[in-house]
């Protein structure tokens, strides 16, 4: 079946957290419409760029784009940006059931509100290996009052202007900024604006809900909880997991989870839903919503104090959750026992020509003006740096626990070329940032694939001993995974999807500052590229019919 959507993308004044600012909406809303489809369907989205003076591109996060690498929506990698006034048609098959996301993938536009969720149902007559009465979704985001332009100019300036902590956390696009915060200009914040009434999720007492939770924060790692209720995690990034019960769910930007929640508490009242920042010293108030027991009024505040959330710097429970996620028996995709290539990616923050950057093996990523997919397919080899990026770093000499100068860091748009169908291991190695005693959590997202998560560890990855601890029995497959502070995360994937695929930190500002790499595989197997992706850089000449 074909699922057709028309998305009109434009700027509007909105007050999602009571503070009025320009934001990007889809058909007048943010989050945009949820895309509903069934496994095997073709999704068609006609994206109308009504931003007037701004380009756009939309990425379908978690959809592998098998056979349609040009529909991945990654500006500079798989397509030229969509110019104002243009309509671009995305057409792709959703080949796996589960919970996915979509969001802008052009500059730092995601942070302006261009995002939503994708739900892919099982084929008829196939049921989930768990029971629920109703299916709901919830998108978590963080929210800045400055425009994404102001934020990106700061990041690119000397001296460096950091984006700082967001002003609000939004649940389903709604939050509540305290309008009496000092420095808030008169007239821009209105606490009684109905646009910022809290999100209410209405439940019928006694029923079990499958709650599909996705995070598309620009910066924040979150802990989500529903006051007084346990949640049973059953799905992660579209894969069934061995169920485990949590009181609070840690979720990083780019991840999705399904949890089962039973409305089994006192039905005469409502309960708080709360999302708290973790991993960074939080100054953002917790995002709140109402878990509304029918027939209580959805706007009736719960009688209790909202949950405070866990301490931001309590790391062990976060690592423990990562380690708890295992593929569900009966749904295990066994990984290949060995790999053909191991790429170690050292994540560092450093200064290049006075600019603060993030680098991978001392290379800070920049996008070429001709998208790689077009450059490689049409052999425009001058379009990007042909020097292969480093396979690793000098682990014997590098102390990950201290601030390092990394004076050899450079900016480059080179990419990793993978042998088609080879098995690749990627080790994400975290390190100290430019601030003493600080290492951050980075959620890394791979386009075009699901990867096996083979393991997590603390400290420096040891290539001769740590692989012995890999989980090759029931590892989960995911498309986004955290690398914890001063830790490592080991992934394996098969380079079997012809195309060019970004792999990057899903923190908007970190990717903007260079924290990413690109993989190419099987470019010769990619079919004829559509005209519609052309028109920028050296691809101008192909855009003429």
Binding site for ligand ASC (CB under 6 A): 162, 349, 433-435, 440, 510
CB neighbour class for 386 (10 Å; exposed up to 12, middle 13-18, buried from 19):
exposed
In the complex, what is the shortest distance from the CB of residue 281 to ligand ASC, in angstroms, rounded to a whole number?
Answer: 9
In the complex, what is the shortest distance from the CB of residue 510 to ligand ASC, in angstroms, rounded to a whole number?
Answer: 6
Give CA angle at 95 (258, 371), nearest 5°. 105
In the complex, what is the shortest distance from the CB of residue 434 to ligand ASC, in angstroms, rounded to a whole number?
Answer: 6
Quick one: 347 or 489, whose CB is closer to ligand ASC? 347
Structure tokens at 405: 């100068």
In the complex, what is the shortest distance from the CB of residue 518 to ligand ASC, in angstroms, rounded to a whole number?
Answer: 21
In the complex, what is the shortest distance from the CB of residue 351 to ligand ASC, in angstroms, rounded to a whole number?
Answer: 11
Quick one: 15 or 148, whose CB is closer to ligand ASC? 148
CB neighbour class for 422 (10 Å; exposed up to 12, middle 13-18, buried from 19):
middle
Helices (H), 244-287: none
Quick one: 161 or 298, whose CB is closer to ligand ASC? 161
CB hemisphere CA count around 113 (13 angstroms): 34
Name 266's Cβ contacts closer than 8 Å, sequence gap at least 6.
none
Q: Which residue is nearest to ligand ASC (CB)?
A: 162
DSSP lists the bridge partners of residue 138 as: 213
Quick one: 304 or 435, whose CB is closer to ligand ASC? 435
Beta strands 231-236 and 355-360, pairing class: unpaired
3-state secondary structure of 199: coil
In the complex, what is the shortest distance from the CB of residue 197 to ligand ASC, in angstroms, rounded to a whole number?
Answer: 32
Structure tokens at 515: 């924290």
Cα separation, 503 vs 343, whole angstroms: 13
Quick one: 107 or 307, whose CB is closer to ligand ASC? 107
In the complex, what is the shortest distance from the CB of residue 349 to ligand ASC, in angstroms, rounded to a whole number?
Answer: 6
Q: Which helix (H) or strand (E) holds 155?
A: helix 148-155
Quick one: 49 or 220, whose CB is closer to ligand ASC? 220
DSSP lists the bridge partners of residue 344 as: 427
SS (H, E, C) 481-533: EEECCCEEEEEEEECCCCEEEEEEECCHHHHHCCCEEEEEECHHHCCCCCHHH
Q: Which residue has the tokens 């569900």?
A: 328
Residues constituting the chain: 545
Quick one: 31 or 514, whose CB is closer to ligand ASC? 514
Structure tokens at 21: 């600012």
Quick one: 258 or 349, whose CB is closer to ligand ASC? 349
Q: How far is CA 209 from CA 204, 225, 259, in A?
A: 9, 14, 8
Please check whether residue 328 is in contact with residue 241, taking contact to mean a CB–CB distance below 8 angstroms: yes
In the complex, what is the shortest distance from the CB of residue 211 to ligand ASC, in angstroms, rounded to a whole number?
Answer: 29
Quick one: 33 or 161, whose CB is closer to ligand ASC? 161
Quick one: 89 or 435, whose CB is closer to ligand ASC? 435
Closest C-alpha to 155, from 357, 312, 419: 357
Quick one: 47 or 276, whose CB is closer to ligand ASC? 276
Name 67's Cβ contacts closer than 8 Å, sequence gap at least 6.
93, 527
In the complex, what is the shortest distance from the CB of residue 438 to ligand ASC, in angstroms, rounded to a whole number?
Answer: 7
SS (H, E, C) 363-418: EEECCCCCCHHHHHHCCCHHHCCCCCCCCCCCCCCCCCCCCCCCCCCEEECCCEEE
In the complex, what is the shortest distance from the CB of residue 169 to ligand ASC, in angstroms, rounded to a whole number?
Answer: 17
In the complex, what is the shortest distance from the CB of residue 9 to ligand ASC, in angstroms, rounded to a whole number?
Answer: 28
């Amino acid at each position: 079946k074909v699922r057709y959507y028309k998305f009109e993308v434009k700027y509007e004044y909105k007050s999602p957290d009571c503070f009025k600012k320009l934001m990007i909406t889809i058909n007048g809303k943010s989050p945009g419409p949820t895309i509903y489809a069934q496994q095997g369907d073709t999704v068609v989205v006609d994206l109308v760029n009504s931003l007037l003076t701004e380009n756009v591109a939309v990425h379908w996060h978690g959809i592998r784009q098998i056979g349609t690498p040009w529909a991945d929506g990654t500006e500079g990698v798989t397509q030229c940006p969509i110019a104002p006034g243009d309509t671009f048609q995305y057409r792709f098959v959703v080949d796996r059931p589960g919970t996915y996301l979509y969001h802008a993938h052009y500059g730092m536009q995601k942070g302006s509100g261009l995002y939503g969720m994708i739900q892919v149902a099982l084929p008829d007559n196939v049921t989930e290996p768990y029971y629920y009465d109703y299916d709901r979704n919830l998108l978590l985001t963080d929210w800045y009052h400055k425009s994404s332009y102001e934020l990106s100019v700061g990041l690119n300036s000397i001296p460096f202007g950091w984006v700082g902590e967001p002003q609000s956390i939004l649940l389903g696009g709604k939050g509540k900024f305290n309008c009496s915060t000092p420095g808030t200009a008169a007239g821009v914040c209105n606490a009684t604006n109905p646009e910022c009434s809290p999100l209410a999720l209405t439940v019928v007492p006694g029923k079990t809900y499958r709650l599909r939770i996705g995070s598309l924060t620009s910066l924040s790692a979150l802990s989500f909880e529903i006051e007084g209720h346990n949640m049973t995690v059953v799905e992660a990034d579209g894969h069934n997991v061995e169920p485990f019960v949590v009181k609070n769910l840690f979720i990083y930007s780019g991840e999705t989870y399904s949890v089962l929640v039973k409305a089994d508490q006192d039905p005469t009242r409502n309960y708080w839903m709360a999302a708290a920042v973790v991993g960074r010293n939080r100054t953002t108030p917790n995002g709140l919503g109402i878990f509304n027991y029918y027939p209580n009024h959805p706007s009736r505040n719960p009688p209790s104090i909202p949950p405070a959330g866990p301490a931001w710097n309590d790391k062990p429970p976060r690592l423990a959750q990562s380690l708890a996620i295992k593929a569900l028996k009966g749904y295990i995709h066994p990984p290949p026992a060995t790999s053909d290539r191991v790429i170690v990616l050292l994540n560092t923050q450093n200064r290049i020509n006075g600019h603060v950057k993030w680098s991978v093996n001392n290379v800070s990523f920049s996008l070429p003006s001709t998208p790689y997919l077009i450059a490689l397919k049409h052999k425009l080899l001058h379009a990007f740096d042909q020097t292969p990026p480093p396979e690793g770093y000098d682990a014997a000499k590098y102390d990950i626990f201290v601030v390092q100068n990394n004076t050899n860091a450079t900016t480059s748009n080179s990419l990793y070329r993978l042998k088609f169908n080879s098995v690749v291991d990627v080790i994400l190695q975290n390190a100290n940032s430019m601030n003493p005693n600080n290492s951050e959590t980075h959620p890394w997202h791979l386009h075009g694939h699901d990867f096996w998560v083979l393991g997590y560890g603390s400290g420096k990855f040891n290539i001769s001993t740590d692989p012995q601890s890999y989980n090759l029995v029931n590892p989960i497959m995911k498309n986004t995974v955290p690398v914890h502070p001063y830790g490592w995360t080991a992934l394996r994937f098969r380079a079997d999807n012809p195309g060019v695929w970004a792999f990057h930190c899903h923190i908007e500002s970190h990717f903007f500052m260079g924290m990413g790499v690109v993989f190419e595989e099987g470019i010769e197997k990619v079919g004829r590229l559509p005209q519609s992706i052309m028109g920028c850089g050296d691809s101008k000449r192909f855009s003429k019919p």
